[in-house]
Amino acid sequence: MPMPASARPESGASGLSRIIDAAPLVIFLGMLIYIGFNAPNFMSFGTMQLVLNQSVPVVVVCLGLSIVVMAGGDDVVSGGIDLSIPATAVICAGIIAQLVTNTDTPLLLAIALALGAAMFIGIVAGLMVTRLGMTPLLTTLALFVAVVGVTKVVTSSRRINVDDPFIIFLRDGEILGISAGVVITLALVLVFYHFIHRTKWGLNLQAVGGSCEAAEISGLKPGHFLFWAFVIAAFTGFLASFFLLARGSGSSPGTENNLMLEMVLATFLGAAFSPRRVVTLWGAVLGAVLVAALSIGFKTMGVNVFWTGLIKGSLILVVLALAALSSRVKS
Amino acid sequence: MSASVLLMQDIAKTFPGVVALDAASLSVRPGEIHGLVGENGAGKSTIIKVLAGVYHADDGTVSIQDTPVSPVTSEVIHAAGVRFIHQELHLVPHFTVTESVFMGQEITTRLGLSRRLMCARAETFFRDVLDVEINGDILIRDLGTAERKLVQIARALIDDQARLVVFDEPTAPLASGEIEKLFRAIRRLKDRGIAIIYVSHYLSEITDICDRVTVFRNGRDVAVLDKVDENCANELIKAMVGREIDALYPKSGHTRGALVLQAKGLGDTGYFSDISLSAHSGEIVGIAGLIGSGREELIDTLYGLRPARTGEVTLHGKPVRFSSPADAVARGMVLVPRDRRRDGLVLDMSVSENINLASLEEVSCYGIELRNRARERASRQIRELDIRPDNPAIISRQLSGGNQQKTVLARWLATRAAIFLLDEPTVGVDVGAKVEIYQLIENLARNGAAILLSSSDPGELIGMCDRVLVMMRGRITHETSAVGLSIDQLVAMTTGASTQNSAEGHADAR
């Protein structure tokens, strides 16, 4: 590929591309401000806390998706993406709920089985993409459908209540006056952040996603990092299952669709927050909170649930379209 | 100190059907900049890949610092202090300079990455070793191309273990003003006692920076120059070319008709600028230039594949602005692309379908393709062009390179276009098919088509064309009649060994 020989590749188009880069944020903040003025009590401490609590499972799966995108590159079709994470979260929640509530299995054993299932999904996705060279988008979409199917078999597609004290603590407990789920998630984010941005392994994973050839020349093995990214992503699905159980006081069918929608929206919206304009952990986390705020805002305004789906789907399209537009302007 | 840093002796390497290296030798002394030149296919890149451990030689020995290396693997070569600066930059645009320099060899403590330390080390390296100031925290995408090249060099040398550095066409992506920056860095490396192999097509650069030069031709080292100055360019070209124009060409001189295509002041930032050219009916105009000279982008721009930032194009005296190839085709201008397998053919379609692709309306009725008419047309073209096997239903992928190229030509012949842009029409085509393609091109010109022939084969340009334009670093540096032009002279022009106006007696009377 010939490099432009001019001194600064982005000169000239930088003004326009900066506007395009900022557009998703402007749209989002605009919608939030609109909701703030129109929804009763939206700008209150209680609502803020509700937003944070609601966003927790999305934040956790967003961590996983961000890592896969970082390792596989941010091209939506050929790059890294893992749509199976929400399904992993839902099946783990289903396994735990079914075993603990309906068969009196000890919680720890149920958790171990759920972890096993998650790892299996992650390894399958990783092997299919890195060893067989399948496209991540279609592979993980198929996995999503298959895993959701298995979940329906496991739970008989019914709602299962869970009243285990640990899950109740995640829902109602408080640490230093802040909801336990939020505090634990914040801790998780910090651990992942350190892992990705402050360790050699994490930086090398980003290098692999940024330029496969550059990483190979530097002696790194791209397949290794991408494989482990899928395994880590499945692990975040496993972690998210606890927060799903806590948020819904058990496992309920149909959670996966909304979770996937919000995960994709939040992660790619997050790129707009990053100074480098790429998918990052903090960007995805902020994105997840914003998306949750939007959902709750619509609910308090009394917007029909079905319309919310249209709005969220359109937002994903807008965010992706702007990303595509921005790379066109820059090239 | 030993007599040679690197000694490669009698290296042989054969690929199925091709002898790439035939007892080739290369010897590099400590602390010298050693040039490696040769035409495409002479064996330069093969011997570099043997040294890199990418290819395993069939025969011959490799010694580094008088110690034989066997087997030659990338790990052993790296451990011996040999580094490669690839032609492509291979950098992550959203990484910082520091992250890029230390990629794969990051400095860590028990708590994780030591970003401060790495940044300081990188900045010191740029200052002391490469003689430039580059901020370690800046993103790669905010750097100019020359600085990116220096980052790439720093990544290879940061561990301080390098004894021999191989530069493969390092100036290819650079504008002429940026080259001096790179040369200053390379000379600094030499001053530190690091030996350098400098592979380039640009002879002006070779004579400028190298201490000694080895010339490759047909898989062998045919000459070694121990003393290099500006005057030895001719000697280098003689050793590189070593042949006369082949008798493959049907050229018989053309009658120049009306002016058909004219471009004035055409430019595209970073690729080419200020390009003016013209082509007349019945004329074959050649475009010569190294890869990266802007030749490919110019052809694409004329065809509407890339927008022109400046300048204008007129066709038959009327200004035109093509926003897509469809516009160009509608005005009777067609392209035979350089990568026929990617851009020229739908490989999984039949020969008949490919031939009729551009003239579907002629073989259809109310939008429905008439199979018989289509097949008949294709069969006629196949007979005329002698495409083999002569079965219109065969899938294009199964044809040989020469027959695929003839299929592409057949498609455009069927449209009776007036202007043909031919981009490397005979690359990867065997000699027999070449002669046939040349005859086809010749017939087109005789029937009044205007032809622009872009090629990296100097023999082909001289043999086929009436006039030749030479491009270098995005500009037309020479325009000359092809009559009486020798391969040596043309190579001297494309490689920058001959400066403007030095090709006496060949200025075109426009």
The domain that contains B330 carries what CATH number? 3.40.50.300
Q: Which of B112-142 are b and which e, b meaning 16 or more Cβ less than 10 Å from the residue's Cβ? A: bbbbeebbebbbebbeebbebebebeebbbe
Across A59-133, where does the E strand assignment appear? none
Query: Which class in CATH covers the domain with range A55-325?
Result: mainly alpha
Structure letter (DSSP) for residue B300: H
- DSSP-derived pairing of the beta strands B164-168 and B82-85: parallel
pLDDT of residue A329: 66
* Cβ pair A276:B92 closer than 8 A: no
Distance of CA A245 to the CA centre of its chain: 17
With an 8 Å Cβ cutoff, the interface of chain A facing chain B consists of 1-10, 12, 194, 198-200, 203-204, 206-207, 210-211, 213-215, 217-220, 276-278
Residue B113 lies in a domain: yes
Q: How far is CA B29 from CA B3, B46, B63, in A?
A: 6, 21, 12
Cα Rg of chain B (Å, integer)? 25
CA distance B409 to chain A (A): 27
Residue B251 lies in a domain: no
Same domain, yes or no: B98 and B160: yes
Query: Does B323 reach chain A within 8 Å, measured CB to CB?
Result: no
Same domain, yes or no: B143 and B191: yes
Q: Which region, left, alpha or beta, applies to residue A249 given φ > 0 means left and ψ of -120 to 50 means alpha? A: left
Q: What is the number of other CB atoms lying within 10 angstroms of the CB of residue B25?
A: 17
Residue B508 lies in a domain: no
Residue A62 banded pLDDT, cuts 50, 70, 90 = very high
3-state helix, strand, coil in chain A (%, to 5): 75, 0, 20
Contact B267, B273 (CB under 8 A): yes
* Best CA proximity match to B206, nearest among B491, B500, B502: B491
Q: How far apart are CA A41 and CA A39, in angstroms?
A: 6
User: Mutating which of A8, A211, A212 best tests the B interface, going by the most B Cβ atoms within 10 A?
Assistant: A211
Residue of A nearest to B269 (CA): A6
pLDDT of residue A86: 94
Q: How far apart are CA B492 and CA A28, in angstroms?
A: 60
Same domain, yes or no: B215 and B269: no
CA distance A6 to chain B (A): 5
* Cβ pair A5:B99 closer than 8 A: no
Tens place of pLDDT per residue across chain B (510 aa) = 457 899 999 999 988 777 888 889 999 999 899 999 988 778 888 899 999 888 888 999 999 988 898 888 888 898 899 999 988 888 888 899 999 999 888 888 888 888 899 999 999 999 888 888 889 899 998 888 888 989 999 998 888 888 999 998 888 777 777 888 889 889 999 998 999 999 988 888 888 899 999 999 888 898 898 888 877 888 888 888 876 666 778 866 778 889 999 999 998 887 888 999 999 999 999 999 887 788 989 999 998 888 888 899 999 888 988 888 888 888 889 998 888 877 888 888 888 888 888 877 777 777 777 778 888 888 888 888 888 888 888 888 888 888 888 888 888 887 778 899 999 888 877 777 888 888 889 888 888 899 999 998 888 898 899 999 999 888 999 999 988 888 888 888 888 877 544 444 343 333
Q: How far apart are CA B249 and CA B34, in angstroms?
A: 37
pLDDT of residue B244: 66
CA distance B294 to chain A (A): 10
Same domain, yes or no: B216 and B275: no
Same domain, yes or no: B281 and B184: no
CA distance A210 to chain B (A): 5
Q: What is the pLDDT of residues B324-342, one digit of tens each?
A: 888 888 888 999 888 887 7
pLDDT of residue A322: 79
CA distance B148 to chain A (A): 10
- Where do the domains of chain A lie? 55-325
CA distance B110 to chain A (A): 9
Inter-chain Cβ pairs, chain A and chain B, closer than 8 A: 91
Q: B198, B214, B241: which is the final residue of a domain?
A: B241
pLDDT of residue B503: 40
Binding-face residues of B in 256-275 toward A, CB within 8 A: 269-271
Distance of CA B210 to the CA centre of its chain: 22
Find the CB nearest B106 among A2, A203, A211: A203
Same domain, yes or no: B300 and B176: no
- Contact list, B474 vs chain A (CB under 8 Å): 5
- DSSP-derived pairing of the beta strands B259-268 and B467-472: unpaired
pLDDT of residue B11: 92
pLDDT of residue A122: 94
Secondary structure string (H, E, C) spanning B59-93: EEEEEECCEEECCCCHHHHHHCCEEEECCCCCCCC
A60's tokens: 């956790």
Q: B178, B208, B241: which is the final residue of a domain?
A: B241
Q: Which residues contact B430 (CB under 8 A, 6 or more apart)?
A: B400, B401, B402
Q: How far apart are CA A75 and CA A81, in angstroms?
A: 9
pLDDT of residue B8: 93
Q: How far apart are CA B39 and CA B201, in angstroms?
A: 8
User: Mutating which of B90, B100, B102, B103 best tests the A interface, going by the most A Cβ atoms within 10 A?
Assistant: B103
* Best CA proximity match to B80, nearest among B159, B187, B161, B25: B161
* Cβ pair A4:B139 closer than 8 A: no
Q: Which domain holds residue B193?
A: 6-241
Give ipTM to 2 decimals. 0.79
Instruction: Please give the single-letter amino acid code of residue B314.
Output: T
Q: Which residues contact B9 (CB under 8 A, 6 or more apart)?
A: B25, B60, B61, B62, B63
Q: Across residues A219-224, what is the average pLDDT?
A: 86
Q: Is the pTM of this model over 0.80?
A: no
* Cβ pair A5:B474 closer than 8 A: yes
- CA quadruple A151, A153, A156, A157: dihedral sign: positive
Q: Which residues contact A309 (CB under 8 A, 6 or more apart)?
A: A261
Same domain, yes or no: B28 and B163: yes
Q: What is the pLDDT of residues A267-301, one digit of tens each?
A: 888 887 776 778 888 889 988 998 888 888 888 88
* Cβ pair A276:B139 closer than 8 A: yes
Same domain, yes or no: B427 and B281: yes
A309's tokens: 């789906």
Binding-face residues of B in 157-176 toward A, CB within 8 A: 173-175
- A179 has a pLDDT exceeding 50: yes
| Number of structural domains chain B divides into | 2
Q: Which residues contact B222 (CB under 8 A, 6 or more apart)?
A: B215, B216, B239, B242
Q: Is B439 helix (H, G, I), strand (E, B) or coil?
A: helix
pLDDT of residue B499: 59
* Cβ pair A2:B148 closer than 8 A: no
- Contact list, B270 vs chain A (CB under 8 Å): 4-6
